Amino acid sequence: MKLMFKTTVSLGVLCLTAGAAFADCGIEGAGSVRILSNDFEALRLVNTTAEECAADGVTVTANATAEHKNLQVPALSINPAEYSVAVVANNSIVPLLNDDLIRPLDDLVAKYGQALQPNQLIKIDGKIMAIAFMGNAQHLFYRKDVLDAAGVAEPKSYEDILAAAKAIKDSGAMEYPVAASVKPGWDLAAEFVNAYLGTGAEFFAPGTAELAIDNEHGLKVLETMRALTAYMDPDYLTFDANSIKAEYEAGNTAMMVEWGSLAGATIDDEGAADGVVANTVLAAAPTIGGGTIPAVALWWDGFTIAKNISDEDAAASFQAMVHGISPEMVAANSAVATWLVAGFEPGPAAVGVIATANAGARAYPMQPYMGLLHTALSAELAEYMAGTEDAAQALADVKAAYDTAAKEGGYL
């Protein structure tokens, strides 16, 4: 399984030839479009725009829910599938691929996808299996005024962040100059995955499901993660992505590695303390351990078409989703996401994601057993981050949990 997604964001402009009927969707005949997606602003916009294709004989419904990952496999396993479209990301597409629940899109792209750009076509084993429409990554947000006052330059690495945090704390300007999304569970695991990607090392032995993080790279990642906690709010283990955004907007912290998809809401001047927005800089994600690779995962969000539906519903669904991610929708909502759509002109909120992608950030791994590792990290790193376990034991616990799950899954 190979991801063919380009890690640079294309800003080229292509022409769009609008369809003739049904809100310019071009859908001829009948069809049922049933969308399942995650629930955040950009996806709600795509769903709402796709719903414009509803007309005589064409129905379009959408379910945007945070439970989408739990729903998608059972919902697409029945025949006909409950949903005709599953909106996915790097990791959530894997279970659908493993169970053969989504269809190749090459024919639909040839017929209805002329306006799509090459970097939107997610290819697995040579076949187009998803259409990406937005990119995302965590990256550095920092307060230039606070750093300037402490006499430190823009941090380029986690080592720079630690040095800057010490200078800020020693100056008395802020007691907790760093915030991180380290709440035990998915967020904490993602922090480890991010930093490990920055080492350039692989998570698994080549060509196998054998875990390969119990090494100097894994130890360096854990050491760095805990070193940062010396400059974080004592309740750091309760903080997820939304929590650190709130702390940053309140003026309580000076640096965070946060989702690019939350940048627009962070710099929109709504709810932020005086001086926060005016002094916020969005920069590429930091490197780690002297490396040159941004220590974050590059993500894409895109749509797939269910296998267990009629060809008529598949065609209608593809056309509705292409309308949902149209250049017109993107132009009207350019600040909401880093869109991978023709004609996208990035605004201030997209700067950090683009800088991170162009610096060579690696995509979140798509091996079918990566989810088992993420789950093991979710469960086994909390004690280490709380300071009650050493790094070697934490890695041993992760390996034991992963090995058990991988054997049960038939991967080891």
What's the CA gap between 247 and 233, in Å, rounded? 10
Q: What is the pLDDT of residues 48-63, one digit of tens each?
A: 999 999 999 999 999 9
Closest Cα partner for 101 from 5, 36, 29?
A: 36
Read off the pLDDT of each residue in 13-24 and give the average, rounded to a whole number: 34
Beta strands 362-363 and 178-179 are unpaired
Query: How confident is the model at residue 10, as a pLDDT?
Result: 28
The predicted-structure confidence for 70-113, as pLDDT tens digits, reads as follows 999 999 999 999 999 999 998 889 899 989 999 999 999 999 99
Contact 347, 81 (CB under 8 A): no
Q: At 246, which helix (H) or strand (E)? A: helix 241-249
pLDDT of residue 23: 62
| Residue with the two structure tokens 């267990």 | 308
Least confident of 1-5, 168-172, 277-281, 335-339: 1-5
Strands 127-143 and 338-339 turn out to be antiparallel
pLDDT at 315 over 60: yes
Phi-psi region of 183 (alpha: psi -120 to 50; beta: other; left: phi over 0): beta
Q: Is the pLDDT confidence value at 274 over 60?
A: yes
Tell how strand 121-124 and strand 127-143 pair up. Answer: antiparallel
Mean pLDDT to the nearest integer, 238-246: 95
Residues 72-111: b if buried by 16+ CB within 10 A, e if exposed: beebbbeeebbbbbbbbbbbbbbbbbeeebbbbbeebbee
What's residue 24's pLDDT? 67
Give residue 307's pLDDT. Answer: 98
Domains contained in the chain, CATH given: 15-135+299-347 (3.40.190.10), 137-297+362-408 (3.40.190.10)
User: Residue 85: helix, strand or coil by DSSP?
Assistant: strand
pLDDT of residue 16: 25
Q: What is the C-alpha separation between 61 and 50, in angstroms, rounded?
A: 9
Checking if the pLDDT of 43 tops 90, the result is yes
Predicted confidence at residue 26, as pLDDT, reads 85
Q: Among 13-22, 56-65, 90-99, 198-207, which stretch is predicted with the lowest mean pLDDT? A: 13-22
